[in-house]
């Protein structure tokens, strides 16, 4: 059994803080910046890992069940009218 924990990781290039590998892609890397290239490589590796995991076995996500609606406690003002 392989257990992979969910991890949130945020990183940005100190010279190009607006670079987003997912939105911009490799074409937005300016001047061959090594930090931006590493961010792009990490993003692509992560996407490939997720693709392999989903291809092997679907990821089961526990969905939150909708809560039972609360009983209607508001009084009906028009019930007493003829």
- Confirm if 30 and 16 have CB atoms less than 8 A apart: yes
Domain assignment of residue 73, yes or no? no
Domain assignment of residue 26, yes or no? yes
Domain assignment of residue 41, yes or no? yes
Domain assignment of residue 10, yes or no? no
61-66: long-range contacts, CB 8 A cutoff, minimum separation 24:
none
Question: 39 is in which domain, residue-wise?
Answer: 21-56
CA angle 10, 16, 32 (to 5 degrees): 110
Nearest partner of 37 among 22, 46, 48, 26, judged by Cα: 26
Domain assignment of residue 12, yes or no? no
Domain assignment of residue 75, yes or no? no
Instruction: Say what the pTM is.
Output: 0.63
Number of domains present in the structure of the chain = 1
7-60 pLDDT per residue, tens: 788 889 999 999 999 898 888 998 899 999 999 999 999 999 888 888 888 766
Domain assignment of residue 27, yes or no? yes
């Amino acid at each position: 059994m392989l257990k992979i924990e969910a991890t949130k990781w945020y990183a940005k290039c100190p010279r190009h803080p607006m670079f987003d590998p997912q939105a911009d892609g490799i074409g937005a890397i300016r001047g061959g910046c090594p930090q931006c290239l590493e961010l792009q490589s990490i993003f692509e590796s992560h996407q490939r890992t997720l693709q392999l995991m989903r291809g092997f076995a679907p990821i089961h996500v526990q969905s939150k069940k909708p809560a039972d609606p609360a009983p209607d406690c508001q009084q009906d003002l028009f019930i007493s009218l003829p």
